[in-house]
Every structure is written in structure tokens, then in C-alpha cells.
Amino acid sequence: MSDTPKRTYPHGSTVEPVYTSGPHLDPGFRAKPWWIMIQEHTVEKEFAANDWAINRLDHGASGLLFYVNSDHYLPRVLRDIKLSYINIGLVVEGSGPDVMEALLHHAHDDGNSIDGLQGFINIDPVEIAARTGVWHEEKMYDLGEISRLAPSQFKYMCCNANFFGACGASAATQLGLAAAHLDFYLDAFGEVGYSQYWLALTSGTHLFEEIAKHRGIRLLWARLLEEYELPPTHLELYSETSTMHQTAYDEHSNLLRATSAAFGAIVGGADSVQIRPYNSLTKDADPEGERLALNQHYILAYESYLDRVEDPAAGSHFIETKTEELCTEAWSMLQEIRALGGIVEALRHGWVQDKLDAEVQAAIPEKFLGVNIFPEISQVLPADLQLKPLKLRSEHQAAHNDKEIEPLIPVRWAANLELERSLKESSK
């Protein structure tokens, strides 16, 4: 018999509780959203990038991610931006140490506390090798140089496991490759910079799996630190909604997919989240798409109250079980990769490529909302949009047989279906 009192609702119905009350635990609450709301921009002209940044901050973004090269004049990009109030991310093409020094000089000259700088710089030799097929040993030296420059709150040991996600990795495989990625740097650098790691994941539309995946990487990180006999420290976790699930047809449906993906990342405990604009396939740096992307954050925070509870998924037997399953599979994959000599050698041997190709071939969907399910028949795609099919591995290998590493192939699940529909419509 329940000791919890019956509840009577305004319409008059009375509900008998199905189980007894347990010990009451006060949940942890926060005064503001715990995740940083990120938006990104590729810098072409410094003053234009600065105008964009000011506009995004005025609309509520709490983090900015710039794609820069070492030739850009950073003070122009960051003019009138108080770095102590935001999270700044820099994805670097060229010399990372030069960009890091430029950031520090600008912060000092602008009256900001160097030690108070928060954000990250992205230089990832493993991701570069997986993307381009070339191993750049000098990038490892760049990381060593940045370790001398970076202030204590600024993250620089970056693991772009999001690229594996963009290439079709399942949740367990993305976790396994992420763990191998972290393992590679811990083995190479030891305790140097171990408190300044950050890791990027993609978040897709399988909600509970994404929650478990984001929670799981923390468990794997803790286990790795135990193996290397290093004290526990926080792993900064950045997540971005996956481009794999975006469609060019009925692009407003991407709002639904991205909201689900962001929900999974946030509940899973991501420190910063980037929601890609719904129309990023058809438009570059579109103000409407960026505004709606921020509004998705705000709805999740201020209307769905994800900003208030410390750990929304805590205590869920289903989520905990799923997390354990993913971590067990990921840890087993890490051991396979270690046996090959680490993740770089696994890339050189084609092990990673084989794994992802098999998963992609097994996961290619037959239906996609807005493309071939309840399509908007009258929709015409922009004339300059080039639809391309999923790239066949055999063709990709032939085009890159001169590389020491076969580059991984990014995936967009709707590509074949959209091309098929487009060809049918153009033939009418």
C-alpha cells in the first residue's frame, strides 16, 4: 500500500500512486545555463568577422568559434569584445603558436586578465591526418610550444572526435575512437597539459544514445587517467549538432533534428554546444538561420528548464545501462587500436577506414522526412546547389592512393535520396 497521498487534479480525477515514496533528495540547481551557446564563423575579412561577432553577442551567444589562419590580424577580429565575459574558440590553419601569442598580446593590451581567458585553440594532428591523409609531425611540436604559452583555464590539447562522427561512426565507435584519440596524447605528452584537454563530439538524432554517449566519454576519460596514474581532472566537452542528418529538401525539418540532437548533448553534460543553422546546406552565414539556432538554445534553457537542473539524466536506469554498454564496447575497441600501435597506426593500416565503411554501408537510410516521406512536392532547390551522392570507398581510395593515410569520408545520410529525387524531378 502506498504511503504517498492521493492527488486530485482540477478536473476532479483522483490518482492513486503506484509506488511508495522514497528518501527525498534535493536536486542540484544552477542560476544560469551550464552550457556555452556557441556560434562559428570562418574569417575572411577581419572587420566583417568582427561585425558578425558583435551581432551574435548582441543576440545572446556566450561563445564564439572562429576559423582563422596565422595571417589574420586577430585584434581586428576581436575589437570591442570583452574576452573575460565569453568563451573564445580558435580553429587554426597555419601556425598555432603564432595565433596563441596574438591572442595573449591582444588580451593583455585590451586590459583582460590572461589567466581569466576561457576557451580553446584547435590544433589536432590526428584529425588533420584522418581528414587529409598526411601526418604532420610538426603539429605535435606546435602543441608542445602552446603548452608553454596557454594560460591555465585555456584548453589546447584538442581531440576532434567529431570528425569521426561526421564520417558515419556509430555512438560506440565514436566513443572508442575518442578514447584512442585521448590515449594517443596522454601517451605522447604524459602529465603535460593533461588538465587542459578538450574533446569534440557530434550529436545526432538518436536521443537516448546521444545522452549516454556524452556521459560515457567522462567515464572513459576517468579510466584513462587512472591507467596513467594522473589525478582526476575535468575534460572540457564540446558538442555540435551533426551535419549528417541535415537535408536540403524541406530544410525547416532540420530545426527538429538539431533540437533533438542538442537536447541529447545538453542532458549528456556537454560544456559547450553548437547548434548548426537549419539552412547551413544552402546558405553561408545566414542571419535568420543563426538567429533560429540561438533561439533553439533559449527554448531548451529558458522554456524547457534544462538550464536549472544539475544533471537531468541522473538516476535513470535505462540511461546508466546504455552508458555502460557503450563504454564497454568503446573500451574493447581501444584495446584493439592499442594492439595496432595506437590511433595513428590504426589509420595507416586502414583499420579505422574499414570500420567506418562497414558501419556506413549498414546504416544508409531508405527514408528521410521531407525528402521521400511527406515531401513538399513544389519545392525547388537553389540552382547553385550541387547535390552529390555518398562517395564510394573504392573511388575515394583510387583518388588518394598517393597518401600515406587514406582520408576518411564525411557522410550526409540524405545525399543519395536527394540526388535521386532531384534527377526524377529534372527529367519531368
Query: Domain with 307 in it: what CATH number?
Result: 3.20.20.240
Grid cell in block for residue 261: 540532437
Would residue 366 count as lying in a domain? Answer: no
What is the span of the domain harbouring residue 242?
Answer: 123-324
Q: How many CA atoms lie within 13 A of 363 on its CB side?
A: 18
Kind and range of the H or E run holding 260: helix 253-267
Q: What is the pLDDT of residue 25?
A: 45
> What is the C-alpha to C-alpha distance for residues 30 and 348, in angstroms, rounded to an integer?
46
| pLDDT given at position 17 | 53
What does the alpha-carbon distance between residue 270 and residue 216 come to, in Å, rounded to a whole number? 11
For 308, residues 6+ apart whose C-beta sits below 8 A from its C-beta are: 29, 30
What's the distance, CA 412 to chain centroid? 16
Pairing verdict, β 14-15 and 7-8: antiparallel
pLDDT at position 90 is 96
In a domain, 69, yes or no: no
Strand order across the 272-274 sheet = 154-155, 119-122, 87-93, 63-69, 36-42, 272-274, 236-241, 197-203, 157-160
Strands 157-160 and 154-155: unpaired
Q: Measuring CA to CA, which residue among 32, 414, 34 is closest to residue 214?
A: 34
| DSSP 3-state of 248 | coil
Q: Which of 132, 133, 211, 201 is CA-nearest to residue 166? A: 201
Q: One-letter amino acid identity for 356?
A: L
Of 4, 44, 36, 7, residue with least CA distance to 21: 4
Contact 296, 265 (CB under 8 A): no
User: In this predicted structure, what is the pLDDT of residue 10?
Assistant: 55
Residue 191 lies in a domain: yes
Report if residue 139 sits inside a domain: yes
Q: Is residue 50 part of a domain?
A: no
Q: What is the Cα–Cα distance from 202 to 265, expressed in whole angstroms?
A: 8
State how many domains the chain has: 1
Question: How many whole angstroms separate alpha carbon 360 and alpha carbon 168?
Answer: 6
Spans of the chain, pLDDT less than 70: 1-33
Rounded to 5°, the CA angle 43-263-219 comes to 95
254 within some domain: yes
- Structural domain contains residue 200: yes
AA letter at 233: T
Grid look-up 539552412 returns 279
Quick check: is 73 in a domain?
Answer: no
